[in-house]
Chains A and B, each alone.
Chain A
Amino acid sequence: MSTITAPYDNTIETPGRRAPLVLGGHDYTSVTKVVCEIAETPQPPLAWFVAFGISSSMTLMFLGFAGYLVTTGIGVWGNNSPVFWAWDIVNFVFWVGIGHAGTLISAILFLFRQNWRTSINRAAEAMTVFAVVCAGLFPTLHVGRIWVIYWLLPLPNQNAIWPNFRSPLLWDVFAVSTYATVSTLFWYMGMIPDLATFRDRATNKFKQFVYGVLALGWTGSARQWYRFERAYLLLAALATPLVLSVHTIVSFDFATSQVPGWHTTIFPPYFVAGAVFSGFGMVLTLMVPGRELFGLKDLITPRHLENVCKVLLATGTMVGYAYAMEFFVAWYSGSRYEQFAFINRMFGPYWWAYWTMVTCNVISPQLFWFRKFRTSPWLMFTVSIFVNIGMWFERFVITVTSLHRDYLPSSWGHYAPTWVDICMFAGSFGLFFTLYLLFCRYLPVVAMAEVKGVMPRTVEH
């Protein structure tokens, strides 16, 4: 087996020679070891415990406030007339956006045969699933009468009344739930071989049983592998349009409505680009500390990170283009209401939100033109944080700034979050990280089988 043992910068493109995706002189055995030991070690790093403590308590806080909200009324939030949607929907779109990177990496990059995806796709998929969970919570909690929310589903009922399929919100219900299901399937299916590995390395009966059940008796036979790859390809082919459709449909919530600043055809691509952008941003935010924490530097190599940065640069620029195009469309529409909506974004009461958004989303990714930023993890980590902030503000600008001043000046209003808003948003991060940390602890964080697949194979004897 030929492996790279000496320190090696795999971010440099040397023509004619494909840069390796695994460093540190790993062979199949050691790859398995590195990944499995994260879950097998009896004592995870202290940092894990600290992080888990914090995030789980934030989760409890979230649940507490959710209870308060449900028993008391939406009024505990800052929502008002005309800003009937505020942080609830902002957070929903924010999390759904983040939930895009995983499936995108697994599906689209897979179709494009981007082998570097292999060592990050598993973590990204997990991130997707958990982000979608967080996203789903907000629209669920934001309805006035959560106890009848099941009316949004086409369930047979004695009143023989059905949901209204013309409503974008109903499209959301289908799109998001489908997306949640499919990305979970995708995630799980990819994990089956690795779960088999866990099963076979299991040291005690309990682990063996649990992982055994999860692995469904996988033996890695050539026939299984053949069908597995077929299925994976098909799922990828299904997930790719789905990824694009989900945020498109989320954008319909806005685009199909009358509100100046919402009613625009540019939203679907704009939202998708934004989603990819924010998703990859979050991937970076998780990967950089993650690879340090779990010693995955050799599998999640600088090259992987650099590629992510490049994606960020590209999508960030797309988003910037969308911002510009919005203004053009508004001006070109000749509608005074549309035009004012955008002037108001820049110079109205919420100018600060708008400029925060522009700075974080359009300007900060431009740093990735410089190699320095693409190769030094902590710099890109910082930028990724900016991206997360910026993308949250993008949704804030779209939702709140458009709503607070629409057609009739008599009904113009102002929005300010309450402490409940703030705590619930923070709490959703708690939930997200709680799930993520559990995933890191008990499931294969890197797709071992796939990594092995892209490792160089010796052609001796």
Chain B
Amino acid sequence: MTSILEEPLKTETTEATKPQRALACVLAEYDSPQAVAAAARQVMAAGYTRVDAHAPFPFHELDAALAIGKSRLPWMTLGAAAIGGASGLLREWWMNAVDYQFLISGKPLLSMPSNMPVVFACAVLFAAITTLVGMLLLNGLPRFSNPLLRSERFRRATNDRFFISVDARDRRFNLDAVTSLLQSSGALAVEECWTDRSGAKIPPLVWQGALVALALLCIPPAIIARMRATDSRVPRFHLIQDMDFQPKFKPQSTNAFFADGRADRPQLPGTIARGDLQDDDRLHRGLDSAEPIVAAAPPPAAPGAPAPDPLDAMPWVAEFPISIDVAVMKRGQERFNIYCSTCHGLGGDGDGLITQRALELEQGTWVKPVSFHTDAVRKQPVGRLFHSITNGVRKMPPMGDLIPVEDRWAILLYVRALQRSRNASVQDVPADLLPQLEAQ
């Protein structure tokens, strides 16, 4: 008894803790459930409200004795389950039926039966977590600094002893009254619990450790952030290559096996691919003869203009080997404007943008394209012109590889039209269009 009162006096004398002391509660110890239950009833009867009992295991006399009300916990659980299930279903619907739609085994995008298991799992998961967390929060846990826990005697509360604590903040609290009440309730011992802020401090080891851990945790995001912010010459990290780079040769890739390091190989001379026979000389060579003149073609980049042109001697076609209509003409115009006009000019006067620029810069090497409207060109048979387009002439590169054969003829057709337009007479205009012309 005295011992209980002396003990706090002892601590009072110590300087450090002096200002921090405050009475937390009065604690009484009992040896059996029955005893503590009886005592609890007694204390409650005395009108105290902030009373609690402590036992190593639950027993229900106390609930009644302390008039513990219903808990909100079940409702929290229910709500969580509902939210969990709903979120699960929502997720499945959005992911499989909205955001990432795929036809799978001929099943509908959203089929309830196959969605249920996940819905159920999510509901239970949410509910379970909420239950535990809810229980802890309602119990004010975790709470690591508790005056009770500083009492040597109270250590047996989780073992084999039973306690009642009356909170000092109780409206009707009065130390002596409470003490005597408790003593009279058959307590083995009664003691006062004092709050002691000093003990509330987290041990330094803990918060130091926590700080270090926190610092370490910051490093990876910091690195990532930096890498994302700065640009680097080396390619990005790609730890597992998966099938991003496969042991095969994509077009225009490299292959160290070949001296030139190219994976693409040239077609061998003399070989002919399927559909590449080009046995119609009129169409493919603009020549009107049984025998194609194979060797006659000059090399692609022939230097300068040769004096007596062997080409003059060859049997060029004078007529177009393709059927002619407006569509072809339009196609020809389009292709001409794409491929030819840059040098030859939209009108074919040899004043294309490139030419103009070259002349501005006074590039000596530049050979001005001839105008299509010179007699020399106008007199050339179409076959000859076709040959020029195909294999190039003077500075003009061979366009044969770039422009499909039909398009080359179409371009020629348009060129002919351009030539015609420069020296046409009124007679050439169709009668029905004449009025419009005169109107202007």
Of the stretches B71-79, B300-308, B384-392, B426-434, the one at the interface is B71-79
In angstroms, how far is the closest chain B Cβ from the Cβ of A245?
A: 6
Residue A174 is within 8 A (CB to CB) of chain B in the complex: yes
Residue B49 is within 8 A (CB to CB) of chain A in the complex: no
Residue B33 is within 8 A (CB to CB) of chain A in the complex: yes
Chain A residues within an 8 Å CB radius of B144 = 212-213, 216-217
Cβ–Cβ contact B124 & A238, under 8 A: yes
Chain A residues within an 8 Å CB radius of B160 = 27-29, 32
Residue B68 is within 8 A (CB to CB) of chain A in the complex: yes
- Interface size for A (C-beta < 8 A) is 70
B60-115 contacts to A, CB under 8 A, are: 62-63, 66, 68, 71, 73-74, 77, 81, 91-92, 95-96, 99-100, 102, 104-105, 107, 111, 114-115
Cβ–Cβ contact A174 & B131, under 8 A: no
Cβ–Cβ contact B149 & A217, under 8 A: yes
In chain A, what residue has the closest Cβ to B74?
Answer: A234
> What are the interface flags for B15-50 relative to A under an 8 Å C-beta threshold, 1 for contact and 0 otherwise?
000000000000000001110000010000000000
In angstroms, how far is the closest chain B Cβ from the Cβ of A196?
A: 4
Cβ–Cβ contact B128 & A220, under 8 A: no
Residue B127 is within 8 A (CB to CB) of chain A in the complex: yes
Q: A164-B96, A182-B124, A222-B55 are in contact. Are A217 and B146 (CB under 8 A)?
A: yes
Residue A9 is within 8 A (CB to CB) of chain B in the complex: no
A165-207 contacts to B, CB under 8 A, are: 165-166, 170-171, 174-175, 178, 181-182, 185-186, 188-189, 193, 196-197, 199-201
Cβ–Cβ contact B136 & A216, under 8 A: yes
> What are the interface flags for A149-169 relative to B under an 8 Å C-beta threshold, 1 for contact and 0 otherwise?
000001000001111111000
Chain A residues within an 8 Å CB radius of B156 = 200
Cβ–Cβ contact A165 & B115, under 8 A: yes
Interface size class of B (residues with CB under 8 A): 35 or more
CB contact between B96 and one of A162, A175, A223 (< 8 Å): that residue? A162
> What are the interface flags for A326-366 relative to B under an 8 Å C-beta threshold, 1 for contact and 0 otherwise?
00000000000000000000000000000000000000000
Cβ–Cβ contact B117 & A174, under 8 A: yes
Q: Give A356 to B32 CA distance when docked, in angstroms.
A: 55
Cβ–Cβ contact A231 & B131, under 8 A: yes
B126-141 contacts to A, CB under 8 A, are: 127-129, 131-132, 134-136, 138-139, 141
In chain B, what residue has the closest Cβ to A32?
Answer: B159
The interface centre, meaning the residue of B33, B77, B131, B144 with most chain A CB atoms within 10 A of its CB, is B131
Q: Give A331 to B134 CA distance when docked, in angstroms.
A: 52
Cβ–Cβ contact B54 & A235, under 8 A: no
Q: A28-B160, A178-B124, A219-B148 are in contact. Are A231 and B118 (CB under 8 A)?
A: no
Residue A450 is within 8 A (CB to CB) of chain B in the complex: yes
Cβ–Cβ contact A220 & B54, under 8 A: yes
Chain A residues within an 8 Å CB radius of B149 = 217, 219
> What are the interface flags for A24-58 relative to B under an 8 Å C-beta threshold, 1 for contact and 0 otherwise?
00011100100000000000000000000000000
In chain B, what residue has the closest Cβ to A29?
Answer: B160
In angstroms, how far is the closest chain B Cβ from the Cβ of A151?
A: 12
Residue A321 is within 8 A (CB to CB) of chain B in the complex: no
Of the stretches A274-282, A406-414, A453-461, the one at the interface is A453-461
Residue A110 is within 8 A (CB to CB) of chain B in the complex: no
A213-230 contacts to B, CB under 8 A, are: 213, 216-230
Residue B57 is within 8 A (CB to CB) of chain A in the complex: yes
Cβ–Cβ contact B96 & A227, under 8 A: no
Cβ–Cβ contact A182 & B125, under 8 A: yes
Chain B residues within an 8 Å CB radius of A148 = 242
Cβ–Cβ contact B159 & A197, under 8 A: yes
Looking at chain A's contact residues, is the secondary structure mostly helix, strand, loop, or mixed?
helix
Q: Give A212 to B146 CA distance when docked, in angstroms.
A: 12
> What are the interface flags for B152-190 relative to A under an 8 Å C-beta threshold, 1 for contact and 0 otherwise?
001111111000010000000000000000000000000
Q: Give A200 to B159 CA distance when docked, in angstroms.
A: 8
A-B contact pairs, 22 of them (CB 8 A): A28-B159, A160-B100, A163-B95, A174-B122, A178-B122, A200-B156, A201-B155, A219-B54, A220-B157, A221-B52, A221-B54, A223-B139, A224-B139, A230-B71, A230-B74, A231-B132, A234-B77, A241-B120, A242-B121, A245-B120, A245-B121, A449-B57
The residues of B with any CB-CB pair to A shorter than 8 Å are: 32-34, 40, 52-59, 62-63, 66, 68, 71, 73-74, 77, 81, 91-92, 95-96, 99-100, 102, 104-105, 107, 111, 114-115, 117-118, 120-122, 124-125, 127-129, 131-132, 134-136, 138-139, 141-146, 148-149, 154-160, 165, 203, 206, 240, 242
**Supplied contacts A197-B56, A201-B159, 9 more A-B pairs, CB within 8 Å:** A162-B95, A166-B111, A186-B128, A200-B154, A238-B77, A238-B128, A245-B121, A460-B34, A461-B34
The residues of A with any CB-CB pair to B shorter than 8 Å are: 27-29, 32, 145, 147-148, 154, 160-166, 170-171, 174-175, 178, 181-182, 185-186, 188-189, 193, 196-197, 199-201, 209, 212-213, 216-231, 234-235, 238-239, 241-242, 245, 249, 252, 448-450, 452-453, 457-461
A-B pairs with lowest CB-CB distance, top 6: A231-B135, A28-B160, A216-B142, A162-B95, A225-B58, A171-B117
